[in-house]
Structure 1
């Protein structure tokens, strides 16, 4: 059903005259007559009769009027739901316990007036597709993986370099160290069952292993962080990597140790991605917030893969 014709019908019904409806709609009287006639043909009924004082609704017109008004209200609500600034800013943070989630919590505290939707997408290809389709407004990712250049319509800015830590149980050989160098990790088994081939974090650790000769194992099923922490606590031969802003909670009896990694410190490079034509008015506020709250990082003595987009 042509909403323009429905809007014209309602205008004539409320004005009581084709001429006045034409003036209200800023169109010609002939256009009003054509739209009403087209609507009558579509419905198979007459909606108006000509009267000395203008146009009067027929019985069918009276029956249709409240539904026509509701159609216009529904159309306005549908349009408003996607109008820039009327829907929440939708941001992919990858997972709930990692740094991008913390960055968005900080943004929400600083800008409580901005409505947010937080989603968690599995990999960079899915995230980029969602950005290009408009399903999300922005995503936090490590870019650009080897062989995976960003499309030309996707913008990015590096917003946070997050230092790595070694996570061990109390009986691990390095458990009492105040810090460990990458060289000292050679020969130790670092277990990371959550690594998935083709993802940017797997590409990151592949580069780390290749450059420093580490032993990173991704064997076994991934039962989540709680199961990983249980295993690390009970297995002296295993350690794992975590990052400084990753939130981990474990039972007191686990006595796990988070140990800074140095010389150099591996840092995970979080970047914000968005579509260059995205009109959401809250997106510049997010970019400004990240630029002003994460720009005091010292990159001296740190390491990232050579494929990472520079700061």
Structure 2
């Protein structure tokens, strides 16, 4: 359906006269008449009755009017979604409680006038495809996985290294430790349901296991963080890893312990990735904001997989 004819129909309906609608649209009265005639032929219905006072809507015209207004509103939203600087900045984060989400909350507080759409894609393949297509403007990721470098048109910058903590229940053998050396975790069962082979976080933990002889179990369905916390609290033999900047709340009766891992501290490398051809003006503001940050760095030696970029 031609939007000019719909816009003309709404203008005539509001003005009540073809001549006034023509003046509002800056076209001739003849052009208005032709557009209305074209619309009526397309709909197979008479929309106006000409009277001495001007043009009155028929019953069919009255029925069509609210839909015509909605068509114009939808069209305006569609144009706004791609109009430079007018649509929200769309940013992908790994999860809603991790370090990347915290960075975006800080950005929103610093720049409340920038409208944001924050979403969560599954893995780096989906994120890179969405960045390249323009479906999203940026993504926080671990940058790559072994053997799959980023495409040439994708840029990245490392923004924060998030230290891993060990999370245990109150009866776990390490529950009383103020910190735990990474090598001491060998032989302990670390349960992390939801690790999916082929993702960047799976590659991260595969390298961690291989280098330090850890046992990470990804068995069982992933029922979410609440079920994970319940199980860790009730099972002395199990622990799990979580990001040091991950925000979780659990019942006081769980007695869970967050224990920093040291010597070396494994850190998860969060990088911002974007397409160098992306024109959204707020993207530069986000990069400048992240570049001006001075995130706290873990003390002592740290570890990341060899394939992560600095």
Task: Report the TM-score when normalising by structure 1.
Answer: 0.78
Does 2:144 correspond to 1:144? yes
Which residue of the partner structure matches residue 15 of structure 2?
none
Task: Report the TM-score when normalising by structure 2.
Answer: 0.78
Distance 2:208 2:291 in 1: 27
Which residue of the partner structure matches residue 31 of structure 1?
none
Instruction: Show CA shifts across 1:263-300 (max 9, x none).
Output: 11000000111111111111111111111124553685
Question: Residues 279 and 188 of structure 1: is their aligned pair in 2 closer, same or farther, counting only changes over 3 Å?
Answer: same
Q: What SS does the aligned partner of 1:112 have? A: coil
Q: What SS does the aligned partner of 2:281 have? A: coil
Shift, 1:7, TM fit: 9.5
Does 2:75 correspond to 1:78? yes
Distance 1:144 1:230 in 2: 32
Distance 2:154 2:261 in 1: 33
Which residue of the partner structure matches residue 286 of structure 1?
286
Instruction: Show CA shifts across 1:204-229 (max 9, x none).
Output: 00000111111111111111111111
Instruction: Show CA shifts across 1:10-63 (max 9, x none).
Output: xxxxxx9xxxx9xxx9xxxxxxxxx9xx99x9999xxxxxxxxxxxxx99xxxx
Distance 2:205 2:75 in 1: 45
Distance 2:268 2:223 in 1: 23
Does the Cα contact within 8 Å between 2:265 and 2:300 map onto a contact in 1? Answer: no
Which residue of the partner structure matches residue 181 of structure 1?
181
Does 2:125 correspond to 1:111? no
Does the Cα contact within 8 Å between 2:263 and 2:300 map onto a contact in 1? Answer: no
Which residue of the partner structure matches residue 257 of structure 1?
257
Question: Residues 165 and 271 of structure 1: is their aligned pair in 2 closer, same or farther, counting only changes over 3 Å?
Answer: same
Shift, 1:71, TM fit: 8.0
Does the Cα contact within 8 Å between 2:143 and 2:273 map onto a contact in 1? Answer: no
Question: Residues 124 and 106 of structure 1: is their aligned pair in 2 closer, same or farther, counting only changes over 3 Å?
Answer: same
Shift, 1:251, TM fit: 1.0
Q: What SS does the aligned partner of 1:90 have? A: strand
Distance 2:223 2:178 in 1: 29
Does the Cα contact within 8 Å between 2:124 and 2:144 map onto a contact in 1? Answer: no
Q: What SS does the aligned partner of 1:162 have? A: strand
Query: Where does 1:31-50 land on structure 2 (aligned, <5 Å)?
Result: none
Q: What SS does the aligned partner of 2:287 have? A: helix
Shift, 1:301, TM fit: 0.8
Shift, 1:248, TM fit: 1.2
Which residue of the partner structure matches residue 216 of structure 1?
216
Which residue of the partner structure matches residue 52 of structure 2?
none
Shift, 1:153, TM fit: 1.6
Structure 2: gaps of 5 or more residues: 9-17, 26-34, 45-54
Structure 1: gaps of 5 or more residues: 9-15, 26-34, 45-57
Does the Cα contact within 8 Å between 1:90 and 1:118 map onto a contact in 2? Answer: yes
Instruction: Show CA shifts across 1:99-121 (max 9, x none).
Output: 11111111111111111111111
Which residue of the partner structure matches residue 32 of structure 1?
none
Does the Cα contact within 8 Å between 1:159 and 1:294 map onto a contact in 2? Answer: no
Does the Cα contact within 8 Å between 1:169 and 1:175 map onto a contact in 2? Answer: yes
Distance 1:111 1:167 in 2: 34
Question: Residues 75 and 240 of structure 1: is their aligned pair in 2 closer, same or farther, counting only changes over 3 Å?
Answer: same
Does 2:197 correspond to 1:197? yes
Q: What SS does the aligned partner of 1:164 have? A: strand
